[in-house]
Amino acid sequence: MQRNLLQLFYLLSAILFILGLRGLSHPKTARRGMFLAELGMLLAIVGTLLHHEIVSYRWIAAGLVLGTVIGAPLAIWIPMTAVPQRTALSHSFGALAAALVGISEYYRHGAHLGSARVATIGVEVMLGSLTFTGSLMAAGKLQGIVRGFPITYRGQNVSNLALLAGMAGLIVVLTLSPATGPAFYAMVGLALLFGVLLILPIGAADMPVVIALLNSYGGLTDAAMGFMLDNKIQIITGSLDGSSGFILSVLMCRAMNRSMTNVLFGAFGKVPELTAGEQAKKPIRQTTMEEAAEILGTARSVVFVPGYGMAVSQAQHRVRELADALKSKGVSVRYGIHAVAGRMPGHMNVLLAEANVPYDELYDMDQINSHFPETDVAVVVGANDVVNPAAKRLRGSPIYGMPILEVEKARVVIVCKRSLNPGFAGIDNELYYSDNTLMLFGDAKDTMVKLATALKE
């Protein structure tokens, strides 16, 4: 009876996880998707508590309290812009837990485990250990605790590959002779080191892709643990996590027109920056709040293009208020969303949803690009790379080939940012020197407030 109930809980939670993932594929259903996935997780935990082999609930209760004490503050107080590093931290905890379960299995049963089980444990502990240190490094780089700049040295790729081959070799040794304890613990040490070395050459701005990839490693670890413990829900959730994390990282690379190899081994972010002197030589057209408000007030159609700067200054509510003011004057308002604007997938969608921007005003890049030629004003709010025409024209540019939002085709472009400083790719933006571009310097939130006030006046 208890066993059947457990299987029923697991089946229900697997269905809820799949429905949850499906819901997450659209902003309109994302909240419901998240709720279904949370319910699935709750059922999986409650189901596991019914397991007939549990002898005491004392340690489980301690684990629940500890998890809540760490998890609740992380969820409540960490700001939206720090979500990538928070996600990396969560992955590191999950991977550490999986690695520790594998290590304890080997420690307890070592020599008595058959070759197949030791091989599974070996793979699981290797993935768990490297995901643990790799995720900690990724969180450190994003938080600025570790230098975000790509750290490279001669022979880096060769030594990393040698390390990987060493770990694979030790797993083969363990499979042939499961009782070889030193090989197991040496493999754990190498995997912990590999996680650190894997992340060193990757720049902070590429971390979101790497985090999605580490998420996928974490999922594979979980699936391997499911095989080891004969736990079906873990095999299902691990496979879902592993495949969705991998698909996400591939999609992000595609949206940036980069290969996975380039992200992992390309030391991206080491491009020479344009000096202030070089920038100063090119003429720009700077505008004032009053002039910009006047242009907006006489427009018939306006497209807002948000980017990382909107997230940094938390300007999403003020953007919506300006849009509301424009709509009340009969202006048609739309938002152009680039898949990799900001620093995490769906970053702009999440922020604009938080500000209650109607979903039907959000347009993907492919949908909005054909509308720019008939748009009166494109307002770029803290976006840079995703509107840089160099991606189309400048061969050799780090973003060459990346599809962009073609704001330059609008009648007037108003760019709201604090300076001419580059964005993530570290390169100058030729949009700023275009004849129809007006630069409106200042913090995005501040600018939106002042524009709305000027517009009302």
Compute the least distance from the CB of residue 315 to ligand NAP, in Å: 7
CB of 240 to ligand NAP, least distance (A): 20
Kindly name the residue from 206, 222, 385, 428 that is annotated as catalytic.
Answer: 385
Question: Which one, 323 or 351, has the nearer CB to ligand NAP?
Answer: 351
Half-sphere exposure of residue 146, counting CA atoms within 13 Å on the CB side?
22
CB of 134 to ligand NAP, least distance (A): 16
Question: Which residues, at least 6 apart from 169, have a Cβ–Cβ distance to it below 8 Å?
Answer: none
Is the distance from CB of 120 to CB of 224 less than 8 angstroms? yes
Smallest gap from residue 258 Cβ to ligand NAP (A): 8
User: 126 or 391, CB closer to ligand NAP?
Assistant: 391
Token look-up 């002898």 returns: 55
Pick 6 or 407: Cβ nearer ligand NAP: 407
Nearer to ligand NAP, 421 or 453 (CB): 421
| Chain residue whose CB lies nearest ligand NAP | 423
- The least distance separating ligand NAP from the CB of residue 425, rounded to whole angstroms, comes to 5
Question: Is 428 among the residues known to form the active site?
Answer: no
Closer residue to ligand NAP in complex, CB, 51/285: 285
CA–CA–CA angle 303, 309, 312 (5° rounding): 130
- The C-alpha angle 135, 353, 291, rounded to 5 degrees, equals 110
Instruction: State the nearest-atom distance from the C-beta of 208 to ligand NAP, in Å.
Output: 4
Whose CA is closest to 377, among 444, 440, 283, 313? 440
The dihedral formed by the CA atoms of 167, 168, 174 and 175, expressed in degrees to the nearest 10: 160
Phi, psi of 210, rounded to the nearest 5 degrees: -65, -35
- Binding-site ranges for ligand NAP (CB under 6 A): 205-206, 208-209, 252, 256, 307-309, 312-313, 340-345, 347, 382-386, 417-419, 421-425, 443-444
CB of 414 to ligand NAP, least distance (A): 13
Q: Which amino acid is at 215?
A: N
CB closer to ligand NAP out of 381 and 454:
381
For ligand NAP, which is the closer residue by CB, 167 or 420?
Answer: 420
Residues with catalytic function: 385
